[in-house]
Amino acid sequence: MAVEEAKVIAETIKKGVILHNKVILITGATAGIGKATALHFAQLGARVVAVARTEERGAVLLEELRDNGGEAVFFAADMKSESDIQAMVAFALETYGGLDFAFNNAGIFGHEAELHDQADDDWADVIAVNLTGVYRCMKYEIAAMLRGQLEDRVTFSIVNNASTVGHRGSISSGPAYTAAKHGVIGLTRQAAVTYINNGIRINAVSPGPTYTDVTSGVRNLSSEAMAQVLALLNPTAQLVEAEAVAETVAFLCSDAASMINGHAIPIDGGQLAKL
């Protein structure tokens, strides 16, 4: 075994998360939570199949992953397209011979309004990506994992990206986004009880407001103004870091989470607890 490989394994053992040479497919991988998760899994020695819509952003991500010693490939896919989703899973299988984990992270906010003013087209777009897209990802990922079980790949894990608004209503979120995230949690639970005896664990993460490109403006506020804004989000008065979500996804994929199945884990600094 090469010295560098031994170091990677030693580091993952220290962290209690052993993912060396495991294959993970990550959608929405070129920004925010998806990018943080791709980088984290690569650092843990996993082989990353990064998926997003644009080749240009994919190339930038691959360069960063490989510069950090990660093994990764990129596939361009639109989560509204079932044929794209089917092809991305086939690409993962062709490239690495199997699929151990998946993080169905891609999502959009859409142009939402209050329910009585919600345009049907905007509703359809958000549901198509945030709920139907997750359903289709799981459909083809689970099929691949069931085949993999026959080939002695023993355990598998799927993690879906939900949201704290999947657990409640929200005045800051539109009806389509909230409905889709509730649906993701329900779909996660249904699939979890269906496939656990096939060695496939299925969970979700439910981040609170997270520091990404979308929320970066908050950090440009004065410290007093920022504290006032963030105190409304959770008791810690902080945005969730994308890396914290990535670490939770890695934990849920690891053997350390072998008895966690069918749950939506809030990563919110206590936001839901104080409601």
Rounded Cα distance, 82 and 108, in Å:
17
Query: CATH number for the domain including 138?
Result: 3.40.50.720
The predicted pLDDT at position 210 comes to 72
Number of domains forming the structure of the chain? 1
SS3 readout for 24-82: EEEECCCCHHHHHHHHHHHHCCCEEEEEECCHHHHHHHHHHHHHCCCEEEEEECCCCCH
The predicted pLDDT at position 13 comes to 46
pLDDT (tens digit per residue) in 195-237: 999 999 999 999 988 766 654 555 555 556 656 666 666 676 6
Most confident option among 64-68, 69-73, 181-185:
181-185
The predicted pLDDT at position 234 comes to 67
The predicted pLDDT at position 155 comes to 86
Rounded Cα distance, 239 and 109, in Å:
18
The predicted pLDDT at position 62 comes to 96
Q: What is the residue range of 100's domain?
A: 3-274
Question: Per-residue pLDDT averaged across 101-128, rounded?
Answer: 92
The predicted pLDDT at position 217 comes to 52
Residue 135 annotated among the catalytic residues of the structure: no
pLDDT (tens digit per residue) in 123-164: 999 999 999 999 999 999 999 999 987 665 578 999 999 999
Catalytic pick from 96, 135, 140, 177? 177
pLDDT-wise least confident of 22-36, 52-66, 79-93, 238-252 = 238-252
Do you know the residue count of the chain? Answer: 275
